[in-house]
Amino acid sequence: MWYHDHRIDHTAENTYKGLEGFLNLFNQFDTGDESTGFHLPSFPQFDINIILNDKLIDPGTGKVCFDTFGFDGLVGDVQLANGKVQPFLNVNQRRYRFRVLDGGPSRFYELFLTNPANLNQQIPFWVIANDGNLLVHPVQVTSFRIGVAERYDVIIDFKQIAQTFGATTLNFENRLEQVNGRAPTGKILPAGQGTTCVQFKLGAVVADGSVDPATNPTFYQLPALPTPRITRSFRFERDNGQWAINQQFADCGVIRFTVEQNTAENWHIVNNSGGWQHPIHIHLEEFRILNRNGAPPPAVEVSRKDVIRLQFNEDDLITMRFRDFRGDYPTHCHNTIHEDHAMLLLWQVQPGVIDNNQNP
Protein backbone atom coordinates (compact mmCIF):
# COMPACT_ATOMS: atom_id res chain seq x y z
CA MET A 1 0.00 0.00 0.00
CA TRP A 2 0.98 3.66 -0.05
CA TYR A 3 -0.03 6.97 1.46
CA HIS A 4 0.18 10.61 0.41
CA ASP A 5 -1.00 14.10 1.22
CA HIS A 6 -4.62 14.64 0.15
CA ARG A 7 -5.23 18.35 0.72
CA ILE A 8 -8.16 19.48 -1.45
CA ASP A 9 -7.03 21.55 -4.48
CA HIS A 10 -3.35 21.01 -3.58
CA THR A 11 -2.86 17.23 -3.68
CA ALA A 12 -0.77 17.41 -6.86
CA GLU A 13 1.79 19.95 -5.72
CA ASN A 14 2.17 18.43 -2.24
CA THR A 15 2.72 14.87 -3.46
CA TYR A 16 4.95 16.22 -6.26
CA LYS A 17 7.16 17.77 -3.57
CA GLY A 18 7.50 14.41 -1.83
CA LEU A 19 4.66 13.91 0.66
CA GLU A 20 4.13 10.24 -0.20
CA GLY A 21 5.48 6.89 0.92
CA PHE A 22 5.11 3.10 1.08
CA LEU A 23 3.38 0.89 3.64
CA ASN A 24 4.27 -2.80 3.36
CA LEU A 25 1.95 -5.23 5.13
CA PHE A 26 2.71 -8.89 5.91
CA ASN A 27 0.67 -11.83 7.21
CA GLN A 28 1.04 -15.58 7.69
CA PHE A 29 1.09 -16.15 3.91
CA ASP A 30 3.05 -13.20 2.55
CA THR A 31 5.43 -13.16 5.48
CA GLY A 32 8.48 -11.18 4.38
CA ASP A 33 10.55 -14.33 5.03
CA GLU A 34 11.18 -16.64 2.08
CA SER A 35 11.53 -19.67 4.36
CA THR A 36 7.85 -19.43 5.39
CA GLY A 37 4.38 -18.88 3.90
CA PHE A 38 4.35 -18.43 0.14
CA HIS A 39 8.19 -18.31 0.12
CA LEU A 40 8.32 -14.96 -1.62
CA PRO A 41 11.71 -13.19 -1.58
CA SER A 42 12.70 -11.96 1.87
CA PHE A 43 12.14 -8.38 2.93
CA PRO A 44 14.00 -6.03 2.82
CA GLN A 45 17.12 -7.47 1.18
CA PHE A 46 15.37 -9.10 -1.79
CA ASP A 47 11.94 -7.41 -1.57
CA ILE A 48 12.44 -3.80 -2.63
CA ASN A 49 10.10 -0.84 -3.09
CA ILE A 50 10.44 1.37 -6.16
CA ILE A 51 8.41 4.59 -6.46
CA LEU A 52 8.59 6.24 -9.87
CA ASN A 53 8.20 10.00 -10.35
CA ASP A 54 9.24 12.47 -12.99
CA LYS A 55 10.09 16.13 -12.32
CA LEU A 56 10.47 19.33 -14.29
CA ILE A 57 13.82 20.92 -13.43
CA ASP A 58 14.64 24.59 -14.00
CA PRO A 59 17.94 24.42 -15.92
CA GLY A 60 19.01 27.77 -14.48
CA THR A 61 18.51 27.02 -10.79
CA GLY A 62 18.32 23.24 -10.64
CA LYS A 63 15.09 23.54 -8.64
CA VAL A 64 11.93 21.53 -9.19
CA CYS A 65 9.19 23.39 -11.13
CA PHE A 66 5.42 23.03 -10.77
CA ASP A 67 2.66 24.89 -12.63
CA THR A 68 -0.42 25.16 -10.39
CA PHE A 69 -2.58 26.22 -13.34
CA GLY A 70 -1.46 23.64 -15.90
CA PHE A 71 -4.81 21.85 -15.89
CA ASP A 72 -3.84 19.09 -18.37
CA GLY A 73 -1.23 17.56 -16.09
CA LEU A 74 2.53 17.55 -15.82
CA VAL A 75 5.20 15.34 -17.35
CA GLY A 76 8.77 15.95 -16.32
CA ASP A 77 12.11 15.86 -18.10
CA VAL A 78 14.02 14.07 -15.29
CA GLN A 79 13.13 10.53 -14.17
CA LEU A 80 13.43 9.55 -10.51
CA ALA A 81 13.20 6.25 -8.65
CA ASN A 82 12.97 6.46 -4.86
CA GLY A 83 13.85 10.14 -5.12
CA LYS A 84 17.08 9.53 -7.04
CA VAL A 85 17.77 10.39 -10.67
CA GLN A 86 17.94 7.17 -12.71
CA PRO A 87 19.77 5.15 -10.00
CA PHE A 88 21.45 1.75 -10.27
CA LEU A 89 21.14 -1.24 -7.94
CA ASN A 90 23.72 -3.98 -7.46
CA VAL A 91 21.85 -7.30 -7.41
CA ASN A 92 22.90 -10.90 -6.88
CA GLN A 93 22.00 -13.62 -9.33
CA ARG A 94 18.81 -14.85 -7.66
CA ARG A 95 15.11 -13.88 -7.54
CA TYR A 96 14.06 -10.44 -6.33
CA ARG A 97 10.63 -8.99 -5.67
CA PHE A 98 10.12 -5.35 -6.68
CA ARG A 99 7.04 -3.43 -5.56
CA VAL A 100 6.61 -0.76 -8.22
CA LEU A 101 4.45 2.33 -7.60
CA ASP A 102 3.67 5.06 -10.13
CA GLY A 103 3.80 8.11 -7.86
CA GLY A 104 2.78 10.54 -10.60
CA PRO A 105 1.78 13.18 -10.98
CA SER A 106 0.67 12.39 -14.56
CA ARG A 107 2.99 9.97 -16.34
CA PHE A 108 2.00 6.41 -17.26
CA TYR A 109 4.74 3.79 -17.72
CA GLU A 110 5.22 0.65 -19.81
CA LEU A 111 8.17 -1.06 -18.17
CA PHE A 112 10.48 -3.52 -19.93
CA LEU A 113 13.75 -5.22 -18.98
CA THR A 114 16.29 -4.13 -21.59
CA ASN A 115 19.76 -5.60 -22.05
CA PRO A 116 21.86 -2.65 -23.29
CA ALA A 117 24.35 -5.12 -24.78
CA ASN A 118 21.66 -6.73 -26.96
CA LEU A 119 18.58 -4.61 -27.65
CA ASN A 120 16.93 -7.38 -29.68
CA GLN A 121 16.31 -9.57 -26.63
CA GLN A 122 12.83 -9.81 -25.14
CA ILE A 123 13.42 -10.60 -21.48
CA PRO A 124 10.55 -12.11 -19.45
CA PHE A 125 9.73 -11.62 -15.80
CA TRP A 126 6.70 -12.27 -13.57
CA VAL A 127 3.84 -10.15 -12.24
CA ILE A 128 2.59 -11.50 -8.91
CA ALA A 129 0.44 -8.67 -7.48
CA ASN A 130 -1.61 -5.65 -8.49
CA ASP A 131 -2.54 -2.73 -6.20
CA GLY A 132 -1.31 -4.59 -3.14
CA ASN A 133 -3.17 -7.83 -3.83
CA LEU A 134 -1.56 -11.09 -4.94
CA LEU A 135 -2.79 -12.62 -8.18
CA VAL A 136 -4.14 -16.16 -8.20
CA HIS A 137 -0.96 -17.32 -9.99
CA PRO A 138 2.13 -15.49 -11.29
CA VAL A 139 1.74 -14.13 -14.84
CA GLN A 140 4.79 -14.09 -17.12
CA VAL A 141 5.20 -10.86 -19.12
CA THR A 142 7.80 -8.95 -21.08
CA SER A 143 6.31 -5.61 -19.97
CA PHE A 144 3.47 -4.14 -17.92
CA ARG A 145 1.65 -0.81 -18.07
CA ILE A 146 1.10 1.15 -14.87
CA GLY A 147 -0.96 4.32 -14.28
CA VAL A 148 -0.61 6.87 -11.52
CA ALA A 149 -1.23 5.30 -8.07
CA GLU A 150 -1.27 1.73 -9.41
CA ARG A 151 1.12 -0.79 -7.87
CA TYR A 152 2.58 -3.88 -9.51
CA ASP A 153 4.70 -6.45 -7.71
CA VAL A 154 7.10 -8.28 -10.02
CA ILE A 155 9.63 -11.06 -9.57
CA ILE A 156 12.82 -10.85 -11.62
CA ASP A 157 15.05 -13.94 -11.71
CA PHE A 158 18.48 -12.45 -12.37
CA LYS A 159 20.21 -15.85 -12.31
CA GLN A 160 17.96 -17.24 -15.03
CA ILE A 161 18.30 -14.07 -17.10
CA ALA A 162 22.09 -14.17 -16.83
CA GLN A 163 22.17 -17.83 -17.90
CA THR A 164 19.63 -17.48 -20.72
CA PHE A 165 20.51 -14.07 -22.13
CA GLY A 166 24.09 -13.52 -20.99
CA ALA A 167 23.14 -10.18 -19.47
CA THR A 168 25.39 -8.48 -16.92
CA THR A 169 23.44 -5.21 -16.86
CA LEU A 170 19.69 -4.68 -17.24
CA ASN A 171 17.69 -1.49 -17.57
CA PHE A 172 14.17 -1.21 -16.16
CA GLU A 173 13.10 0.90 -19.12
CA ASN A 174 9.93 2.93 -19.69
CA ARG A 175 9.16 2.74 -23.39
CA LEU A 176 5.66 4.30 -23.37
CA GLU A 177 5.62 7.63 -25.20
CA GLN A 178 3.87 10.48 -23.39
CA VAL A 179 4.29 14.10 -24.52
CA ASN A 180 1.81 15.87 -22.21
CA GLY A 181 -0.12 15.40 -19.00
CA ARG A 182 -3.35 14.27 -20.63
CA ALA A 183 -2.37 10.72 -21.56
CA PRO A 184 0.26 8.52 -23.19
CA THR A 185 0.11 8.42 -26.98
CA GLY A 186 0.04 4.61 -26.95
CA LYS A 187 3.26 4.38 -28.97
CA ILE A 188 5.85 1.91 -27.63
CA LEU A 189 9.38 3.14 -28.30
CA PRO A 190 12.10 0.76 -29.55
CA ALA A 191 14.33 -0.91 -26.97
CA GLY A 192 17.04 1.46 -25.80
CA GLN A 193 15.13 4.58 -26.87
CA GLY A 194 12.97 4.84 -23.77
CA THR A 195 13.92 6.13 -20.31
CA THR A 196 15.85 3.97 -17.88
CA CYS A 197 14.14 4.20 -14.50
CA VAL A 198 16.52 1.87 -12.62
CA GLN A 199 19.62 0.03 -13.82
CA PHE A 200 20.41 -3.41 -12.37
CA LYS A 201 24.05 -4.53 -12.23
CA LEU A 202 24.26 -8.31 -11.86
CA GLY A 203 26.76 -9.78 -9.41
CA ALA A 204 27.51 -13.23 -8.07
CA VAL A 205 25.24 -16.25 -7.84
CA VAL A 206 23.92 -16.68 -4.28
CA ALA A 207 21.59 -19.08 -2.48
CA ASP A 208 17.89 -18.57 -3.21
CA GLY A 209 15.17 -19.99 -0.97
CA SER A 210 12.29 -18.23 -2.71
CA VAL A 211 9.56 -19.86 -4.78
CA ASP A 212 10.14 -20.16 -8.53
CA PRO A 213 7.16 -18.47 -10.23
CA ALA A 214 7.62 -20.80 -13.21
CA THR A 215 6.24 -23.61 -10.99
CA ASN A 216 2.85 -21.78 -11.06
CA PRO A 217 2.26 -21.48 -7.30
CA THR A 218 -1.23 -20.54 -6.11
CA PHE A 219 -1.35 -17.35 -4.05
CA TYR A 220 -5.05 -16.53 -3.90
CA GLN A 221 -8.52 -17.78 -4.72
CA LEU A 222 -10.94 -15.18 -6.04
CA PRO A 223 -14.30 -15.38 -4.23
CA ALA A 224 -17.60 -15.65 -6.07
CA LEU A 225 -18.82 -12.41 -7.61
CA PRO A 226 -21.43 -10.61 -5.50
CA THR A 227 -24.93 -9.80 -6.76
CA PRO A 228 -25.15 -6.03 -7.29
CA ARG A 229 -28.05 -4.11 -5.76
CA ILE A 230 -27.68 -1.32 -8.36
CA THR A 231 -25.50 -0.32 -11.32
CA ARG A 232 -24.28 3.28 -11.46
CA SER A 233 -22.45 5.19 -14.22
CA PHE A 234 -19.69 7.78 -13.90
CA ARG A 235 -18.45 9.79 -16.91
CA PHE A 236 -14.98 11.29 -16.53
CA GLU A 237 -14.73 14.18 -18.96
CA ARG A 238 -13.43 17.64 -19.81
CA ASP A 239 -15.89 20.44 -19.04
CA ASN A 240 -15.22 24.14 -19.61
CA GLY A 241 -11.47 23.73 -19.24
CA GLN A 242 -11.62 21.65 -16.07
CA TRP A 243 -12.16 17.98 -15.28
CA ALA A 244 -15.60 16.76 -14.20
CA ILE A 245 -17.48 13.61 -13.17
CA ASN A 246 -20.97 13.41 -14.66
CA GLN A 247 -20.63 17.11 -15.64
CA GLN A 248 -20.09 18.20 -12.04
CA PHE A 249 -16.95 19.59 -10.41
CA ALA A 250 -15.64 18.66 -6.96
CA ASP A 251 -17.68 20.07 -4.09
CA CYS A 252 -16.69 18.92 -0.61
CA GLY A 253 -19.99 20.18 0.77
CA VAL A 254 -22.04 17.75 -1.32
CA ILE A 255 -22.47 13.97 -0.91
CA ARG A 256 -23.38 12.81 -4.42
CA PHE A 257 -24.90 9.41 -3.52
CA THR A 258 -25.28 6.91 -0.70
CA VAL A 259 -24.33 3.24 -0.79
CA GLU A 260 -26.33 0.90 1.41
CA GLN A 261 -24.00 -0.88 3.83
CA ASN A 262 -23.63 -4.66 3.34
CA THR A 263 -24.60 -4.52 -0.34
CA ALA A 264 -22.70 -4.78 -3.61
CA GLU A 265 -22.79 -2.42 -6.59
CA ASN A 266 -21.57 -2.44 -10.18
CA TRP A 267 -20.11 0.80 -11.54
CA HIS A 268 -19.58 1.83 -15.15
CA ILE A 269 -16.41 3.95 -15.33
CA VAL A 270 -16.69 5.81 -18.66
CA ASN A 271 -14.33 7.93 -20.77
CA ASN A 272 -15.76 9.09 -24.10
CA SER A 273 -12.58 10.89 -25.14
CA GLY A 274 -9.77 9.88 -27.46
CA GLY A 275 -7.58 12.65 -26.09
CA TRP A 276 -7.00 11.82 -22.45
CA GLN A 277 -6.91 8.98 -19.93
CA HIS A 278 -7.60 8.88 -16.22
CA PRO A 279 -6.32 6.55 -13.46
CA ILE A 280 -9.46 6.34 -11.32
CA HIS A 281 -9.06 5.67 -7.60
CA ILE A 282 -11.98 4.63 -5.38
CA HIS A 283 -11.44 4.98 -1.65
CA LEU A 284 -12.54 2.50 1.06
CA GLU A 285 -13.26 -0.78 -0.75
CA GLU A 286 -11.41 -2.65 -3.47
CA PHE A 287 -13.11 -3.75 -6.69
CA ARG A 288 -12.76 -6.31 -9.43
CA ILE A 289 -12.78 -5.41 -13.11
CA LEU A 290 -15.55 -7.34 -14.87
CA ASN A 291 -14.77 -6.09 -18.38
CA ARG A 292 -13.09 -3.40 -20.42
CA ASN A 293 -15.37 -2.30 -23.29
CA GLY A 294 -17.11 -5.65 -22.95
CA ALA A 295 -13.92 -7.75 -23.07
CA PRO A 296 -12.36 -9.58 -20.12
CA PRO A 297 -9.50 -7.74 -18.40
CA PRO A 298 -5.92 -8.92 -19.00
CA ALA A 299 -4.57 -11.57 -16.66
CA VAL A 300 -2.48 -9.08 -14.66
CA GLU A 301 -5.72 -7.25 -13.73
CA VAL A 302 -7.64 -10.29 -12.48
CA SER A 303 -7.34 -9.35 -8.83
CA ARG A 304 -8.75 -6.98 -6.25
CA LYS A 305 -7.80 -3.41 -7.19
CA ASP A 306 -8.30 0.16 -6.06
CA VAL A 307 -7.17 2.00 -9.20
CA ILE A 308 -8.30 1.46 -12.78
CA ARG A 309 -6.61 2.98 -15.83
CA LEU A 310 -9.53 4.48 -17.75
CA GLN A 311 -8.20 4.47 -21.31
CA PHE A 312 -9.30 6.15 -24.55
CA ASN A 313 -13.01 5.73 -25.42
CA GLU A 314 -13.52 3.12 -22.75
CA ASP A 315 -16.46 1.91 -20.66
CA ASP A 316 -15.16 -0.30 -17.87
CA LEU A 317 -17.47 -2.28 -15.60
CA ILE A 318 -16.33 -2.98 -12.05
CA THR A 319 -17.99 -4.65 -9.07
CA MET A 320 -17.42 -4.00 -5.38
CA ARG A 321 -18.83 -4.85 -1.95
CA PHE A 322 -19.35 -2.36 0.89
CA ARG A 323 -18.98 -4.12 4.21
CA ASP A 324 -17.69 -2.95 7.57
CA PHE A 325 -17.14 0.77 7.33
CA ARG A 326 -19.58 3.67 7.20
CA GLY A 327 -18.95 7.34 6.47
CA ASP A 328 -17.89 9.64 3.63
CA TYR A 329 -15.31 8.74 0.96
CA PRO A 330 -13.95 10.24 -2.28
CA THR A 331 -13.62 8.88 -5.79
CA HIS A 332 -11.26 10.80 -8.06
CA CYS A 333 -8.82 10.77 -10.92
CA HIS A 334 -5.30 10.05 -9.65
CA ASN A 335 -3.66 12.19 -12.26
CA THR A 336 -3.46 14.54 -9.31
CA ILE A 337 -3.64 17.67 -11.48
CA HIS A 338 -6.99 16.43 -12.83
CA GLU A 339 -8.08 15.67 -9.26
CA ASP A 340 -7.30 19.22 -8.13
CA HIS A 341 -9.14 20.74 -11.16
CA ALA A 342 -11.72 19.27 -10.13
CA MET A 343 -12.30 15.57 -10.95
CA LEU A 344 -13.45 14.33 -7.55
CA LEU A 345 -16.75 13.47 -5.90
CA LEU A 346 -17.82 12.46 -2.41
CA TRP A 347 -20.14 9.57 -1.58
CA GLN A 348 -21.08 7.79 1.60
CA VAL A 349 -21.89 4.36 3.04
CA GLN A 350 -24.78 4.10 5.52
CA PRO A 351 -26.98 1.25 6.80
CA GLY A 352 -30.58 1.04 5.69
CA VAL A 353 -30.40 3.85 3.12
CA ILE A 354 -31.71 3.09 -0.39
CA ASP A 355 -30.31 5.39 -3.10
CA ASN A 356 -31.18 4.49 -6.70
CA ASN A 357 -29.39 7.43 -8.33
CA GLN A 358 -27.77 5.70 -11.31
CA ASN A 359 -25.87 8.77 -12.63
CA PRO A 360 -24.88 10.72 -9.51
Tens of pLDDT, residues 56-92: 999 899 999 998 888 999 999 999 999 999 999 999 9
List the helix and strand counts (H, then E) for the chain. 3, 25
Of the candidates 299, 310, 306, the residue with the CA atom closest to the CA atom of residue 335: 310
135-182: pLDDT as tens digits: 999 999 999 999 999 999 999 999 999 999 999 999 999 999 999 999
Q: Which residues contact 155 (CB under 8 A, 6 or more apart)?
A: 40, 41, 95, 96, 97, 98, 125, 126, 128, 138, 210, 213
Nearest CA-CA partner of 281 in 101, 27, 52: 101
pTM: 0.96
Give the DSSP H/E element, type plus range, for residue 160: helix 158-165
Beta strand 195-205 with 88-93 is parallel
Question: What would the pLDDT profile of 103-137 be if each residue is shown by its tens digit?
Answer: 999 999 999 999 999 999 999 999 999 998 999 99
The average pLDDT across 22-29 equals: 96
List of domains in the chain: 2-215 (2.60.40.420), 230-350 (2.60.40.420)
Each residue's pLDDT tens digit, 237-276: 999 889 999 999 999 999 999 999 999 999 999 999 999 9
Q: What percent of the chain has pLDDT over 90?
A: 97
pLDDT given for residue 312 in this prediction: 97
- For 327-352, letters b (16+ CB in 10 Å) and e give eebbbbbbbbbbbbbbbbbbbbbeee
pLDDT tens profile 276-312: 999 999 999 999 999 999 999 999 999 999 999 999 9
Q: Measure the CA–CA gap between 345 and 336, rounded to whole angstroms.
A: 14
The string of DSSP codes covering 277-310 is -EEEEE-SS-EEEEEETTBPPPGGG-S-BSEEEE
pLDDT the model gives residue 52: 98
Burial label for 247, CB within 10 Å (0-12, 13-18, 19+), is exposed
